[in-house]
Structure 1
Amino acid sequence: MMESSTDSYSKSVDEVSQLLGTNPDLGLLDANAAELLKHGRNELKGQGGVNPWKILLGQVANGLTAVLGIAMVVSFAVRDYAEGGVLVLVIAFNTTVGFFQEYRAEKTMDALRKMASPSARVIREGGQHRISSGEVVPGDILIVEVGDIVPADCRLVEVLNLEIDEALLTGEAVPSLKTVEPIAGKDVSIGDRTNMMYSSTTVVKGRGRGIVVSTGMSTEIGKISSAINETATTSTPMQKKLNLMAYVLLGVALIFALIVFAVNRFQFDTEIVIYAIALSIAVIPEGLIAVMTIVQALGVRRMAKQHALVRKLVALESLQAVTNICSDKTGTLTQGKMVVTNIWLPEQNTEYVVGGQGYETVGELSAPEGRPIDREVALKDMNFRTLVECCALCNTANIVEASEGKVWGDPTEIALQVFAYKMQMGKPMLRKLKEPIEEFPFSSDTKRMSMVCQGPSKEVQDVYTKGAEVVLSICDNVMDRTGDLREISENDELMNLVSVQQEEMAKQGLRVLVIAYRQTSERALGKPVSRWEREEVERNLTFLGLVGIRDTPRFESEVSVRQCHQAGITVHMLTGDHKATALSIAKDVGILEPLSASRRSASKRLNKKRDSHVVPMSSLVMTATEFDALSEQEVDALDELPLVIARCTPSTKVRMIDALHRRKKFAAMTGDGVNDAPSLKKSDVGIAMGAGSDVAKTSSDIVLTDNNFATIVQAVAEGRRIFSNIKKFVLHLLSTNVGQVIVLLVGLAFKDVSGTPVFPLSPVQILFLNLVTGTPPAMALGIEAASSTVMQVPPHLKGLFTIELIADIIIYGTFIGILALTNWVLVIYAFGNGNLATQCNKASNLGPCDTVFRARSAVQMAFTWMILFHAFNCRHLRASLFTTEGGGRSRFFSNKLMLEAVFIGAVMPIPTLYIPYLNTDIFKQGGLTWEWVLVAASVVVFFLLSEFYKLLKRRFITTPYNM
């Protein structure tokens, strides 16, 4: 691999040839090519396949799994096989679900290699040779034609109507028309380097010849590959907080174990070690990873039905925190299809607006103010009818089934042909009346194309011409409604009107074509058609009108952008298109809506630090050259980052993401091209389009199968729902653990006659509470429906463990722990004999341990019913349980899975109280009688305390909340 000067576009062909030691006509010598090949093949490096071991390591290398692993090892070390076996199952389940989710979704960067051309035609020693694309070296003379995929970056030396689709690199929907002349200036964007062709782009028209200037990793696509590989993957806020929580809990567990040993004067008897393990189990939420993994997996399935494929589970958490979406334009906010939208007829100064989406061949005509216009009436206007004929016949595109995307040809040609179909005057119908007999193709010199057609009489030939503004210079007449012609003079005010109209259409982001026509004959030109010259045909034309073509926005884009604004999310458009086009689309879809007073007011509410003055348009809409010219300090000094950046390069997109990160924003990047890959990977959430390149999909976290920007809004809402539900079941599980820790720590004070602490809860009871009783309602919390305000509050950037959530965990856990411990004290001391007997931690029969076993059962059942009732508490962290939802439906009955989980969880532990052997030998508990009254009273008191606590929160906490 070698690299020449990166500014080959600014050098002449001779300068580039001299630099690379080649000849534009003869090419390299075989010996020189072989020597150059030693420096490296024309291949992309560093792209490995899927490594299952790496994915597996990523699943187990997290804090919670590490803590559970330590607990498992200790359990087996003290021969507590039941507890150790349960922990093995928990770890195995969590790891398996996460592994297969990421393994199925993971792609490899081999997609970059697959995009390369398998072979190439080069000139060496004066002869043409077809070689493997990997053998192409700098200095080779490369020949390309329609359908070829360019294998390397080249400086063009010869072109013939050469157009190349560079959408993967630039994002532009329209193919780039290539030239040969040097381009002056520094830092010219890729889209403006018309004398270059780049690796992995596709030739859509004409043919050309170029000098290879860069191969392999030195090409533009190679640089993108390097950027992707160098981009580090960072943990999400929730991952960081969960890992931190795991290590904190590990530290707490060690401290509590130390406390147990200290209270027992560091006697390491098996019974004391088991008590320390039991306390550690109470600290660790064994079911948390299982519930989180399952809930996220269910979220993945739910989002797949909404056309969003999640490649990484952590992306679900990242979505809810998104503050800024940096979106590509072509194919994302727009349809990625050129469409005729405006027709302007000169003689009557009449404008038509053409309806229809994409390549649909059905569309209505209307006036600019929206008034419908009958197609049959419009076609009675000979001026308009002839213009439609020109769009259909002066055209090389083919349409088989537009609705299924079966179209071929240049995007502009397709747009014109689809327009003709909408007028029911497509090429197949017109060719029955007029047969094309001669074509003068579009060229970069003439900037126009003409088609000569003749009818059955063959006495008169029709010339249809379309092209750029230069077509006006060869027009002498203008046509009226009846088909009569009127001369155009240089001073005619009509030309001024045409100029104004062209400028107005350009401001709307339209690509403007001039349509013209003439009738002539072989007799008039004095020679048969086969001998006609272009200059003879393309003169004395009749100007028919202007056609405006654009890549139209998706219908859903405007609604989606508005929803983003309501959710406190700012949308940026980063596109390779021209500034005027980008500005027009941005206005159409509402990206520049924040300029309005209402939007500024909303922004001020969401961000009190933002000034309410109007931000200058010049800072909100920039070109990549303007943005890249700013230093980091100047970018950071901007009141707001640009909402639109035109002529965007890959480095500009990455720079934008960096600027957002410096402002502590959480950025999502959408895109579909190779040029989007670095920013997709560097962003907090990379969202690729399903119809885009494999490289973009590989670099992303989420892939939209319908390529619809609207799906992003649904994905964000789903991410917010899932994150909200994660907070609910984290609260539920951890407050249960806090209650257990309180019971066991205080339980150290309850010692038998031998001075050994008596378990208020046995280890098996703790595992049963955490995994069997607590997990199902936590799962039910994980599938809670989204709040009606989920997309009406700002993004949540404070992570999972907010002050409010931590306070809730401690307070609810304290309520549960104290009430459960009250049952223990009442059963043993208030209504019992206060005798703790001996060896009741090991005993397998009632006897003297009857009171202790019944007290354990009371604690167990009080815990069980309180944490089941607490699941209803967690459904909304502030609203009362008496609050109704939409339609007046009680919160108790809106989640059927919750009702089932609570009912089953409430009755499941009851048999363990009365089944012989299972109760005394395994659970170390006994049957209850009158103690059920204490259990029920505990639940009632817990309910009253919870409602009072929520009342205080509603009164004193005013921050927005979507739960």
Structure 2
Amino acid sequence: MLRTTRKKVEGASLPARAWYRFKDGAKSILGLVGTPLQVKLSKFALLLFGLAILLAIIVFSASKFEISSQVLIYGICVGVAVIPESLIAVLTITMAVGTKAMAKGNFIVRKLASLEAVGGVTNICSDKTGTLTQGRMITRKIWLSEETTAVIEDCTDPYDPASGKIKWPGLTSSASSSASTPTVGNSDDTIQASTMGAFLKAISLCNNSVVTDGKATGTDTESMTTVQTEVAPNWSAIGEPTEIALHVFAMRFGKGKVDVVQGDNSRLVSEFPFDSSVKMMSVVYEASKVRNIYTKGAVEVMMARLNETEEVKARIAAKADELASEGLRVLCVGSRSLTGDHIKTATAIAYEVGILQGGEGDWAVMPASRFDSMSEQEIDSLESLPLVLARCSPLTKVRMLEAMHRRKAFCIMTGDGVNDSPALKKADVGIAMGKRGSDVAKEAADMVLTDDNFSSIVTAIQQGRRLFDNIQKFLLHLLISNIAQVFLLLIGLVFQDDSGTSIFPLSPIEILWANLITSSFLAIGLGLEEAQPDILYRKPHDLRVGVFTFDLVRDKMIYGVCMGSLCLAAFASVTYGPGGGDLGHGCNEGYNPSCDVAFRARSTTFSTLSFLLLVTSWEVKHFQRSLFNMEPESHSGPLSVFKTVWKNRFLFWAVMGGFVMTFPVVYIPVINHAVFKHTGITWEWGIVAGCVVVYIALFETWKAIKRKLGLGVQVSLPPPEDQI
């Protein structure tokens, strides 16, 4: 989007460039620049601004457009009441907290929009090599043409040639060692004469990795004699994981690349690097005026070039299938494929990480060559897309993502190599590996996984859904407050004093206090809510709808009208109860003896609104569950409500602080009369308490109705068997 705009600007005329700059500046001022959620909320704020103007016009029309200072102030009050002043600030804090939580979960968020999007992911696409697997390999088994088999066990350091033991199944028990093999002989001549020697030379020379022990010698100069001190080896390697594994195996027999080149006085004549179209690599070395070619490649590619009988090929193919079914990467003559894996290897890894559970049909695993040969219509006609694609090229991954997008899926793509970058760009959320990932992959990704642990993606999705839930919670809370105040102030036009002037049920400062002080800290607390226990078993939310779902709009209207009605009832109870309906005169401007009833009614309404907002912050912690049974998985019973409200400490103390701060605002002299335009109350606290009880009852009743009718309940997926 940014690149397109820049191209338009660069190729446009002077007036057009001025227009683009003006438009960009206007968007920035109006808040229409940023992440999709920020833009959507900014548009919502502009809508509320327009609504505020409309409501002010309604107020002015009620006075037949005879706009006095009092009518003007009342119109401004209604306009202020409809706008959630703290919305953007609370959203920014919530996003910052979400980013920090992602960092703790080993995710670096490069693009803030991905933090919002990850919670709505429906599918995860992953490259296997370096992502599902660690990217650090060990040569586990070799199988030579004379049916000789070697197995490497107990290896703890993949870079240390002395780590682990080599065993030769089928031979005597003495034929095992930690670094060399008596089976082929320890002498150089014996190894050279065997098939093992040819194998070691091939994997050493046809190899671009570098393995070093990091050893250095230090000189002790504090004495008259020079003493060489040997440093313990610290093995490290540079190169592709498979090449490193092969190189380390050759070094177990003293046949590293440097040893072979120096021992034979070999010279590299030519190199044919790996190419995805041929899936093999070849090098030509010359020694003693004789040139030899050493090749490594994928099993099927090498088999096609093998000059052997079909019986021998069948035996090799059977052995390759056997090794692949164990989850091993199978290579011929110590070679490997950079872009894909044997289909049985891919299947074994998929079972190991839980992608395949068993019982899937033939459609679940498919060679990439078959998938690439299918047209878009053929792919779209499949009942389900394959769960595993073996030997993927970069184009295969892109086509899979396009097929998923045509099915309205929202996808994560993970990868670490340069060949993964097109798919990382194509995905809705691209995640690159931080440790082993290439710079190209990181640049193409939206997030970087610092610990390269695939399971950490679950944390990212959990945090994304938590962020979405929390935004909905504080949005609902803020909008309930705004709707209640608008309802109260518009209906409040009917309350008039002796001169026929409408009396404010809430003063301007009371409205600002409720919106900026009381609601802001409560909204921040809701933004810090922990993820709900069933959050990963719910269906992903629809990002096309966003946070303003039908359920949110419906609930805010119901709760807002209930809150506004109770505040209106509190004002009317004081005014027409003991007050007898005497609202005095000039009570919007300041206190005088005739305003006692109006000021007491206003104080009661303010206290009721404040307390209902405080209670609402606990009620909206869950949109369906009762406040008194919100977390039955961890605790239940009549006292569970105390554990529920105590769980979020920030929100708890924000509510407690809100309760406490109401009293000085109501009772401190001068502040109450001159600033807030209300006065201290006594028996009216009974009305406040009654309104709170009725409000909780109404809130819980509507939640019960929603549970009964299934309104707004997100269908949960069954938990895994190991969690039942």
State the TM-score, normalized to the length of structure 1: 0.58
| In 1: Cα distance, 2:447 partner to 2:582 partner | 62
Tell me which of 399, 415, 421 is aligned to 2:245.
415
Give, in whole Å, the separation in 1 of the partners of 2:694 and 2:313.
87
Q: Does 1:382 align with 2:179?
A: no
Is the alpha carbon distance of 1:912 and 1:391 closer, same or farther for their aligned partners in structure 2, counting shifts above 3 Å? farther
Give the partner amino acid of 1:588.
I
Count of residues paired in the alignment: 644
Supply the distance in 2 between the matched residues of 1:875 and 1:616 (Cα, whole angstroms). 42
CA distance in 2, matches of 1:708, 1:670: 11
Which structure dedicates a bigger proportion of its chain to strand?
Answer: 1
Alignment deviations for residues 615-636 of structure 1 (CA, whole Å, 9 cap, x no partner): 635xx635378537614x4443
SS of 1:669 mapped into structure 2 = strand
Matched, 1:818 2:559: no
Structure 1 residues 587 and 301: CA distance shift in structure 2, 3 A: same
How big is each residue's C-alpha offset from its partner over 1:773-811, in whole Å with a ceiling of 9 and x where there is no partner?
A: 111122111111112212122211153222322222122
3-state SS, counterpart of residue 325 of structure 1? strand
Give the counterpart of 2:481 among 730, 733, 736.
736
> How many Å separate the matches in 1 of 2:488 and 2:401?
49
Does structure 2 retain, via aligned residues, the 8 Å contact 1:447–1:467?
Answer: yes
Aligned positions of 1:325-336 closer than 5 A = 325-336=124-135
Aligned to 2:229: none
1:588: which partner in 2? 349
Is residue 2:667 matched to residue 1:914? yes
Q: What root-mean-square deviation, in Å, do the aligned CA atoms of Structure 1 and Structure 2 show?
A: 4.6
CA offsets per residue over residues 467-490 of structure 1, 9 Å max, x none? 5799999x9xxxxxxxxxxxxx98
Deviation at 1:735, TM superposition (A): 1.1
Alignment match, 1:568: none
Which runs of 5 or more residues in structure 1 are unaligned? 1-44, 49-53, 67-94, 103-234, 454-462, 476-488, 515-546, 552-576, 601-613
The match for 1:724 is: 469
The reply on whether 1:497 has 2:258 as its aligned counterpart is: no
Question: Aligned partners of 2:539, 2:609: CA distance in 1, in Å?
Answer: 36
Query: Which amino acid letter does the alignment assign opposite residue 247 of structure 2?
Result: Q
One-letter amino acid matched to 2:92: T
Q: Are the equivalent residues in 2 in contact too, given 1:823–1:934 (CA < 8 A)?
A: yes
Contact between 1:341 and 1:550, CA under 8 Å: does it hold in 2? Answer: no
* Deviation (angstroms), 1:260: 0.9
* Distance change in 2, residues 1:430/1:696 (3 Å): closer
Q: Name 1:856's counterpart in structure 2.
A: 602
Q: Percent identity?
A: 37
Equivalence for 1:778: 523
Out of 377, 383, 404, the residue aligned to residue 660 of structure 1 is 404
Corresponding residue to 1:931 among 668, 677, 684: 684
Q: Is the Cα contact below 8 Å between 1:393 and 1:430 reproduced in 2?
A: no
Correspondence for 1:181: none
Q: 2:108 aligns with which of 302, 309, 314?
A: 309
Letter in 1 for 2:584: A
Q: Name the counterpart of 2:620.
A: 874
Query: Which residue of structure 2 lines up, in the alignment, with residue 23 of structure 1?
Result: none
Q: Deviations over 1:358-411 (max 9, x none)?
A: 84434566899xxx9995389665149758877777626532259988424675
Match of 1:438 in 2: 265
1:295-325 Cα distance to aligned partner (Å, 9 max, x none): 1101101111222111333322211111122
Query: Residues 451-490 of structure 1 correspond to what in structure 2 (within 5 A)?
Result: none
Contact (CA 8 Å) 2:416, 2:437: kept in 1 or not?
yes
Q: Output the CA distance in 2 between the equivalents of 1:682 and 1:297.
A: 26
- Can you list the C-alpha shifts for 1:222-258, whole angstroms capped at 9, x where unaligned? xxxxxxxxxxxxx74x557535533543343233222
**Which residue pairs with 1:827 in the alignment?**
574
Alpha-carbon distance between aligned partners in 2 of 1:749 and 1:624, rounded to the nearest angstrom:
76
Question: Aligned in 2, Cα 1:682/1:249: closer, same or farther, shift over 3 Å?
Answer: farther
Local SS of the residue matching 2:644: coil
Structure 2 residue matching 1:862: 3-state secondary structure: helix
Q: Distance in 1 between matches of 2:113 and 2:566?
A: 37
**Residue 275 of structure 2 aligns with which residue?**
none
Counterpart of 2:430 in structure 1: which amino acid?
G
> Which letter maps to 2:414?
T
Alignment of 1:102-121 (within 5 A): none
The 1:597/1:277 distance shift into structure 2, 3 A limit, reads farther
Aligned partner letter, 2:67: F
Is the Cα contact below 8 Å between 2:355 and 2:387 reproduced in 1?
no
Residue 570 of structure 1 corresponds to which residue in structure 2? Answer: none
Q: How far off is 1:591 after superposition?
A: 9.6
- The answer (yes or no) to whether the contact 2:324–2:344 under 8 Å persists in 1 is no
1:839 Cα shift?
2.4
> Do the aligned partners of residues 405 and 725 (structure 1) sit closer, same or farther apart at CA in structure 2, a change above 3 Å counting?
farther
Structure-1 separation of matches of 2:391 and 2:178: 42
Shift of 1:933: 1.8
Pick aligned residue for 1:892 from 645, 649, 665: 645
- 3-state SS of the aligned residue for 2:125? strand
Q: Is the 8 A contact 2:267 2:286 kept in 1?
A: yes
CA contact (8 A) 2:242 2:336 kept: yes
Corresponding position of 2:14: none
Q: Which residue type is aligned with residue 654 of structure 2?
A: A
Structure 2 partner of 1:398: 210
Alpha-carbon spacing, 1:502–1:687, altered in 2? closer, same or farther (3 Å): closer
Q: Tell me: CA distance 1:876–1:502, structure 2 relative to 1, closer, same or farther (3 Å).
A: closer
1:242 and 2:47 correspond: no
Paired residues of 1:689 and 1:706 also in contact (CA < 8 A): yes
SS of equivalent residue, structure 2 residue 679? coil
Q: Secondary structure at the match of 2:430?
A: strand
Q: How does 1:633-648 map to 2 (within 5 A)?
A: 633-644=377-388
Report the Cα offset of residue 261 of structure 1. Answer: 1.5
Task: Spell out, residue by residue over 1:27-71, the C-alpha distance to the aligned partner (whole angstroms, 9 max, x if none).
Answer: xxxxxxxxxxxxxxxxxx9799xxxxx999989848xx84xxxxx
1:924 partner SS = coil
The aligned counterpart of 1:298 is 97
Contact 2:295 2:335 in 1 (8 A): no
- Rounded to whole Å, the distance in 1 between the matches of 2:709 and 2:383 is 34
Query: Does the 8 A contact of 2:363 with 2:384 survive in 1?
Result: no
- Which digits, 9 at most, give the CA deviation of each residue in 1:549-570, with x for residues without a partner? 688xxxxxxxxxxxxxxxxxxx
Q: Hey, what's the Cα distance between the residues in 2 that align with 1:323 and 1:511?
A: 33
Structure 2 equivalent of residue 183 of structure 1: none
Q: Give the structure with the higher percent helix.
A: 2
- Residues 341, 597 of structure 1: alpha-carbon distance in 2 compared, 3 angstrom cutoff: closer
1:769 deviation in Å?
0.7
- For 2:646 and 2:605, locate their aligned partners in 1 and report how far apart those are by CA, in whole Å: 28
Query: How far apart are 1:842 and its partner, in Å?
Result: 1.7
| CA distance, structure 2, for counterparts of residue 491 and residue 312 of structure 1 | 57
Give the C-alpha shift of residue 586 in structure 1.
Answer: 5.1
- The answer for the alignment partner of 2:331 in structure 1 is 512
Select 2:415's aligned residue among 655, 663, 671: 671
Task: Name the SS of the counterpart of 2:535 in structure 1.
Answer: coil
> How do residues 22-41 of structure 1 correspond to structure 2 at under 5 angstroms?
none
What one-letter code is carried by the residue in structure 2 that aligns with 1:293?
T
Q: Quote the Cα distance in structure 1 between the aligned partners of 2:25 and 2:425.
A: 20
Matches within 5 A, 1:161-240: 236=36, 238=37
Aligned-pair distance for 1:339?
A: 4.0
- In structure 2, distance between residues paired with 1:663 and 1:490: 47
Q: Which residue of 1 aligns with 2:219?
A: none
Q: Which moved more, 1:289-298 or 1:782-791?
A: 782-791
Aligned counterparts, 1:607-622, within 5 A: 614=361, 616=363, 621-622=366-367
- CA shift in 2, pair 1:924/1:682, >3 Å: farther
Name which of 796, 804, 807 aligns with 2:554. 807
> Does residue 865 in structure 1 map to residue 664 in structure 2?
no
CA distance in 1, matches of 2:343, 2:25: 42
Contact 2:495–2:502, Cα closer than 8 Å, also in 1: yes
Q: Deviations over 1:572-615 (max 9, x none)?
A: xxxxx24x5366335413499676566x7xxxxxxxxxxxxx46
Specify the alignment match of 2:705 in structure 1. 952
- How far 1:280 sits from its partner (Å)? 1.8
Q: Secondary structure at the match of 1:908?
A: helix
Distance 2:50 2:265 in 1: 85
Distance 1:767-1:810 versus aligned 2 partners, 3 A rule: same
Structure 2 length-normalised TM: 0.76
- One-letter code aligned to 1:320: G
Q: Is the 8 A contact 2:211 2:236 kept in 1?
A: yes
SS at match of 2:67: coil
Residue 466 of structure 2 aligns to a residue whose secondary structure is helix
Residues 1:258 and 2:81 are matched in the alignment: no
